[in-house]
Amino acid sequence: MADSITAEHWFLAHEGRLLQRDDQIIFTAADVGDTDVRYGVDDGFGLAVLAQRPVGLTAVDGLRGLLARSVDEVEYARLARASQLATWHDQHRFCGRCGGTLQAHPQDMARQCPVCSLVQYPRISPCIIVLVTRGDRCLLAHSARFPPGRYSTLAGFIEAGETAEAALKREVYEEVGIKVHNIRFFASQSWPFPHQLMLGFFADHLSGELVPDGEEILEAGWFGVDDLPDLPPPFSIARQLIDHFFAVKHDSSTE
């Protein structure tokens, strides 16, 4: 199935990374040379995994910046999907059960072991991301991974056997020592760093005082619309949560 993919527009990848020529990220069928495999990305768009990196093409440096330049959600979704498929293909070349070399599945978007028949589908890791609120203020935290001065919402992976709501309560308590309630789903977003699906929620503060864990979270505080720190970029679901919260507060205050 993967080898029969046809498309007018192509993303190119090599060794798990999308390729570019200067600022060009989308190519034509004429640019698709010797490929390991091809995958469908969207209607009219495909991903070609190249066996060799052509002269003049370089690996995309700064996927976040590329996503931030997306003109709309459709373009963002294409980039996210292409990037995740490129990473998955590169990281799933061998069978995790018997060590055989995986091959393209004949029908599904998957890779199959010819020795033991184990099928590997593109990996997706579900995560929660939550904006905790208290009155007209929201909880923002500075992670050890962030640039200096950057604050964002809390997030974490859902563990085996957990619901999204249980993971949310656990992550908030582990990272900043408070309990939350009144959990409300907001939206989801594919997050290709490298293969997350972010499930966005709001939750209200229930009890406890902020005590950052000192490892994952270095600083945390309650922020209002007039004292917000440096925030994540607008394309991120973290920023969408923050912007939505203050937009609703503003609308309710002007009624």
86 is written with which tokens?
A: 């490129």
pLDDT band at 4 (very low <50, low <70, confident <90, very high): low
Residues facing 126 on adjacent strands: 197
Report the C-alpha gap between 140 and 150 in whole angstroms: 9
Report yes or no: 197 and 124 within 8 Å, Cβ to Cβ.
yes
Task: Tell me the residue type at 32.
Answer: V
Give the H/E segment covering residue 179.
strand 179-191
pTM above 0.85, yes or no: yes
Report the C-alpha gap between 114 and 246 in whole angstroms: 54
Query: What are residue 156's phi and psi, to 5 degrees?
Result: -175, 160
Report residue 37 CA to chain centroid gap: 23
Residues facing 198 on adjacent strands: 127, 189
Best CA proximity match to 64, nearest among 49, 79, 78: 79
- Taking only the tens place, the pLDDT of each residue in 221-244 is 999 999 999 999 999 999 999 999
Angle at 37 between CA 32 and CA 42, to 5 degrees: 75
Contacts of 173 (CB under 8 A, 6+ apart): 179, 208
Mean pLDDT in residue range 152-171? 98
Angle at 110 between CA 65 and CA 4, to 5 degrees: 90
Return mean pLDDT, the chain.
94
- Taking only the tens place, the pLDDT of each residue in 87-140 is 999 999 999 999 999 999 989 999 999 999 999 999 999 999 999 999 999 999
DSSP, residue by residue, 109-129: SSEE-TTT--EEPPP-EEEEE
Mean pLDDT in residue range 165-192? 98
DSSP 152: B
Task: Specify the pairing of strand 9-14 against strand 17-20.
Answer: antiparallel
Buried b (16+ CB within 10 A) or exposed e, 168-179: bbebbeebbebe
Mean pLDDT in residue range 16-24? 94
The verdict on whether omega for the bond into residue 194 sits within 30 degrees of 0, i.e. cis, is yes
Query: What are residue 127's phi and psi, to 5 degrees?
Result: -135, 155
User: SS3 letters for 185-232?
Assistant: EEEEEEECCCCEEEEEEEEEEEECCCCCCCCCEEEEEEECCCCCCECC
Q: Does the pLDDT value for residue 1 go beyond 80?
A: no
- The pLDDT > 90 percentage for the chain reads 85
Number of DSSP helices (H) and strands (E) in the chain, helices first: 4, 14
Report the C-alpha gap between 166 and 17 in whole angstroms: 34
Quote the pLDDT of residue 251. 82
